[in-house]
């Protein structure tokens, strides 16, 4: 390890030379108590920025204790956000060509995710940053680079990591909020719940393009007495709120009264949230998946026969493949693919569902005989899913009253206030009985599939090409994976991790033509648990731009890869 003075002298020596000369500064330097690692140097001022770490020995810092994975993830998230604040407050040198002077860290939004931007281990703390090395045209600006690397970065590290009493208290509060949310989520199964919404929660967001809480006019959440639950937390004691039971739950009400807002909060409740978000105590079981229709998506090798029977002209649906699935077939596939990899809670909003898949009313049943209709509507299977497969469903429903016949719980959202109308719904369903909504055959289960490795190729022109575009797309080899309808991807860094995780799983033989998709995901998750998200990065030492995705979003991406081929596993 060299002293930072060597970095300064190297920069002065290469001043005004061509940009490629920046390669000479790669290495590890010490600036007092801080180590500076220049891991990757961009080849051009317009290229993705260089990757730099600041490293401090753990014993030199006063930080909250890390006694669990939850506390570690929360502390790393807190420090990454604090570093971003310090960068934003700094008067850093800017100017020059391309990304010159850029300085950033991959801190998150409203959700607290396991990230690679900060790493806390028993012996050290690392901040992983992106730096745009300064240039005029493609000529090195050494004086600006020296100020950025040798002066500003160590100063940001000091202001981020050396916590004064106020900073330490803020860190402890941040961790406490995350630990409380995790404790609430862990208690859901033992109380027979799929979700919990704490009293006083603020569900509405500032706008359709912002996940920050609505600050003016928001109505704090209050649970109806009949659905009120009290759960224990390690820092806030007993917390009261609305519990959503297992089974079939309807969220009903007029337009603009908060039905979809509640469902969206539940969808994001699979993640913990930052203090002040308003949804800190909105928690959903981690195996909950949003389901919707998705016209045009590719479906490969899915046994749809539970929902779609034999199609016209005798076309079988037991191993259904389509390059352009309809609304009904795509929604059926989304349900079965989610259950295949472990989902046990389905979240649906009628506005994004295929009507002919969700319901067929009694008049249409009388007009079109069952043998002439290939679709088994979801209403006929939803109770079987709960009773026979242990899969609960939460549905936003404003227009299909037939679902009152199959609901275990009905919540009326009125002016953003929930009212339990289950008893009234049952009375109406009994009074207006129109027949039995349940398929005549039992729930058949899901047929596992084995992904074929030769159909998964991240290479383009013999080079691995994996690139993320926001939360909506992954370029994977010569293909583009469309993730626009995968609603529980909440951070672009998750999208980056998804593409790299699929490539990693292929490279390390997890896709071996023998493992089912669920088993591939088990192996991948085990590797990440053992070695951390760092293993996904092609940049040695600096994997600073990943956030951990769930297995359900990894599966969703693979299922949308248009080259994917599978083999079904038929149990005897």
Q: What is the 3-state secondary structure (H, E, C) of 6-63?
A: HHHHHHHHCCCCEHHHHHHHCEEEEECCEEEEEEECCCCCCCCCEEEEEEEEHHHCCC
- Asked if pLDDT for residue 166 goes beyond 60, the answer is yes
Instruction: Please report the pLDDT score of residue 540 as a whole number.
Output: 64
In this prediction, residues 198-217 reach a mean pLDDT of 94
Q: What percent of the chain has pLDDT over 90?
A: 88
- Asked if pLDDT for residue 571 goes beyond 90, the answer is no
Instruction: Please report the pLDDT score of residue 365 as a whole number.
Output: 82
Token pair recorded at residue 48:
């993705």
Lowest mean pLDDT among 142-146, 290-294, 461-465: 461-465
Instruction: Please report the pLDDT score of residue 366 as a whole number.
Output: 80
Lowest mean pLDDT among 44-53, 64-73, 353-362, 430-439: 430-439
Cβ pair 152, 132 in contact under 8 A: no
Instruction: Please report the pLDDT score of residue 411 as a whole number.
Output: 98
Q: How many CB atoms lie within 10 A of CB 380?
A: 19
Q: What percent of the chain has pLDDT over 70?
A: 98
Instruction: Please report the pLDDT score of residue 44 as a whole number.
Output: 94
Instruction: Please report the pLDDT score of residue 570 as a whole number.
Output: 82
Q: How many domains are contained in the chain?
A: 2
More confident site: 189 or 370: 189
The C-alpha angle 126, 279, 341, rounded to 5 degrees, equals 75
Of 302, 298, 286, the closest CA to residue 488 belongs to: 286
Token pair recorded at residue 558:
């693979």
Query: Does residue 75 lie within any of the structural domains?
Result: yes
Phi-psi region of 218 (alpha: psi -120 to 50; beta: other; left: phi over 0): beta
Instruction: Please report the pLDDT score of residue 572 as a whole number.
Output: 57
Distance CA 301, CA 288 (A): 23
Distance CA 80, CA 86 (A): 10
In this prediction, residues 468-497 reach a mean pLDDT of 97
Domain that holds residue 453: 449-568
Q: Which residue has the tokens 């939004």?
A: 109
Q: Which residue has the tokens 């990440």?
A: 528
- Asked if pLDDT for residue 94 goes beyond 70, the answer is no
Q: Which residue has the tokens 């990230």?
A: 115
- Asked if pLDDT for residue 52 goes beyond 80, the answer is yes
**148, 163, 178: which is the final residue of a domain?**
163
Burial of 126 (0-12, 13-18, 19+ CB in 10 A): buried
Lowest mean pLDDT among 1-5, 96-100, 341-345: 96-100
Cβ pair 318, 302 in contact under 8 A: no
In this prediction, residues 295-311 reach a mean pLDDT of 94
Cβ pair 199, 207 in contact under 8 A: no
Query: Does residue 53 lie within any of the structural domains?
Result: yes
Cβ pair 326, 295 in contact under 8 A: yes
Query: Does residue 268 lie within any of the structural domains?
Result: no
Q: pLDDT tier at 211 (50, 70, 90 boundaries)?
A: very high
More confident site: 53 or 461: 53
31-44 confidence digits (pLDDT tens): 999 999 999 999 99
Q: In which element (H, E) is residue 229 found?
A: strand 228-233
Cβ pair 276, 283 in contact under 8 A: no
Q: pLDDT tier at 364 (50, 70, 90 boundaries)?
A: confident
In this prediction, residues 208-221 reach a mean pLDDT of 92
In this prediction, residues 245-257 reach a mean pLDDT of 96
In this prediction, residues 324-348 reach a mean pLDDT of 97
Helix (H, G, I), strand (E, B) or coil at 535: helix
Q: Which residue has the tokens 């295929």?
A: 354
Query: Does residue 411 lie within any of the structural domains?
Result: no
**163, 181, 215: which is the final residue of a domain?**
163
Distance CA 39, CA 35 (A): 12
In this prediction, residues 200-221 reach a mean pLDDT of 94
Q: Across-strand partners of 105?
A: 129
Distance CA 225, CA 410 (A): 14
457-472 confidence digits (pLDDT tens): 999 988 889 999 999 9
Burial of 435 (0-12, 13-18, 19+ CB in 10 A): exposed
Residues in the chain: 572
- Asked if pLDDT for residue 314 goes beyond 80, the answer is no
Distance CA 37, CA 34 (A): 10
In this prediction, residues 290-304 reach a mean pLDDT of 97
In this prediction, residues 481-489 reach a mean pLDDT of 98
Query: Does residue 269 lie within any of the structural domains?
Result: no
Compute the chain's Rg from CA coordinates.
26
Token pair recorded at residue 495:
């999208």
Helix (H, G, I), strand (E, B) or coil at 516: coil
Helices (H) and strands (E) in the chain, counts: 14, 32
Within 13 Å of residue 403, how many CA atoms lie on the same side as its CB? 27
Helix (H, G, I), strand (E, B) or coil at 283: strand
Query: Does residue 393 lie within any of the structural domains?
Result: no
Instruction: Please report the pLDDT score of residue 461 as a whole number.
Output: 84
Of 280, 299, 62, the closest CA to residue 181 belongs to: 280
Buried b (16+ CB within 10 A) or exposed e, 285-321: bbbbbbbbbbeebbbbbbbbbbbbbeeeeeeebbbbe
Instruction: Please report the pLDDT score of residue 106 as a whole number.
Output: 96
Instruction: Please report the pLDDT score of residue 538 as a whole number.
Output: 72
**163, 178, 201: which is the final residue of a domain?**
163
Instruction: Please report the pLDDT score of residue 553 as a whole number.
Output: 98
Backbone angles phi, psi at 7, to 5 degrees: -60, -45
Cβ pair 114, 547 in contact under 8 A: yes
- Asked if pLDDT for residue 536 goes beyond 80, the answer is yes
Instruction: Please report the pLDDT score of residue 462 as a whole number.
Output: 81
- What rounded mean pLDDT belongs to the chain? 95
Instruction: Please report the pLDDT score of residue 316 as a whole number.
Output: 87
386-415 confidence digits (pLDDT tens): 999 999 999 999 888 899 999 999 999 999
In this prediction, residues 546-562 reach a mean pLDDT of 98
Q: How many CB atoms lie within 10 A of CB 235?
A: 14
Q: Which residue has the tokens 């240039």?
A: 135
In this prediction, residues 142-150 reach a mean pLDDT of 95
Query: Does residue 550 lie within any of the structural domains?
Result: yes
Buried b (16+ CB within 10 A) or exposed e, 5-15: eebbebbeebb
Distance CA 474, CA 464 (A): 13
Q: pLDDT tier at 212 (50, 70, 90 boundaries)?
A: very high
């Amino acid at each position: 390890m060299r002293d930072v003075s060597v970095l300064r002298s190297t920069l002065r020596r290469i001043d005004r030379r061509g940009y490629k000369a920046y390669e000479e500064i790669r290495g590890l330097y010490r600036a007092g108590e801080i180590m500076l690692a220049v891991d990757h140097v961009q080849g051009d001022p317009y290229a993705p920025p260089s990757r730099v770490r600041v490293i401090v020995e753990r014993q030199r810092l006063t930080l909250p204790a890390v006694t669990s994975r939850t506390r570690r993830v929360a502390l790393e998230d807190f420090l990454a956000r604090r570093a971003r604040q310090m960068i934003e407050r700094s008067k850093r040198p800017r100017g020059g060509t391309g990304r010159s002077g850029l300085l950033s860290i991959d801190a998150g939004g409203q959700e607290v995710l396991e990230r690679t931007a900060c790493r806390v281990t028993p012996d050290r703390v690392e901040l992983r940053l992106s730096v745009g090395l300064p240039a005029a045209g493609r000529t090195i600006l050494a004086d600006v680079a020296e100020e950025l690397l040798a002066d500003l970065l160590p100063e940001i590290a000091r202001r981020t990591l050396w916590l004064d009493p106020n900073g330490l208290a803020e860190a402890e509060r941040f961790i406490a909020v995350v630990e409380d949310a995790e404790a609430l989520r862990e208690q859901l199964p033992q109380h027979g719940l799929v979700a919990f919404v704490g009293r006083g929660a603020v569900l509405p967001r500032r706008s359709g393009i912002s996940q920050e809480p609505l600050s003016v006019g928001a109505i704090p959440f209050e649970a109806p007495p009949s659905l009120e639950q009290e759960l224990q937390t390690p820092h806030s004691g007993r917390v009261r709120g609305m519990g959503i039971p297992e089974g079939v739950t309807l969220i009903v009400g007029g337009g603009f009264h908060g039905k979809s807002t509640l469902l969206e909060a539940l969808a994001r409740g699979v993640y913990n949230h930052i203090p002040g978000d308003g949804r800190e105590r909105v928690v959903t079981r981690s195996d909950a998946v949003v389901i919707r229709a998705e016209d045009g998506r590719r479906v490969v090798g899915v046994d749809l026969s539970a929902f779609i029977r034999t199609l016209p002209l005798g076309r079988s649906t037991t191993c259904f493949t389509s390059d352009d699935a309809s609304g009904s077939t795509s929604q059926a596939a989304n349900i079965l693919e989610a259950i295949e990899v472990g989902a046990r809670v389905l979240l649906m909003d009628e506005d994004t569902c295929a009507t002919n898949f969700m319901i067929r009313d009694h008049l249409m049943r009388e007009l079109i005989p069952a043998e002439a209709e290939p679709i088994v509507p979801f209403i006929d299977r939803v109770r079987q899913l709960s009773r026979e497969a242990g899969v609960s469903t939460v549905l936003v429903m404003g227009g299909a009253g037939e679902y009152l016949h199959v609901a275990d719980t009905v919540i009326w959202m009125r002016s953003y206030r929930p009212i339990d109308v289950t008893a009234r719904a049952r009375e109406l369903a009994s009074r207006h009985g129109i027949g039995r909504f349940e398929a005549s055959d039992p729930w058949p289960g899901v047929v596992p599939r084995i992904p074929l490795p030769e159909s998964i190729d991240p290479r383009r022109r013999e080079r691995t090409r994996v690139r993320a575009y926001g939360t909506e797309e992954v370029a994977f080899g010569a293909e583009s994976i469309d993730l626009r309808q995968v609603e529980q991807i909440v951070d672009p860094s998750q999208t980056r991790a998804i593409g790299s995780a699929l490539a990693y799983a292929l490279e390390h033989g997890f896709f071996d033509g023998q493992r089912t998709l669920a088993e591939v995901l088990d192996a991948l998750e085990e590797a990440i648990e053992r070695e951390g998200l760092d293993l996904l990065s092609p940049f040695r030492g600096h994997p600073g731009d990943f956030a951990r995705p769930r297995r359900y979003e990894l599966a969703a991406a693979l299922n949308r890869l248009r080259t994917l081929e599978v083999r079904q596993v038929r149990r005897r």
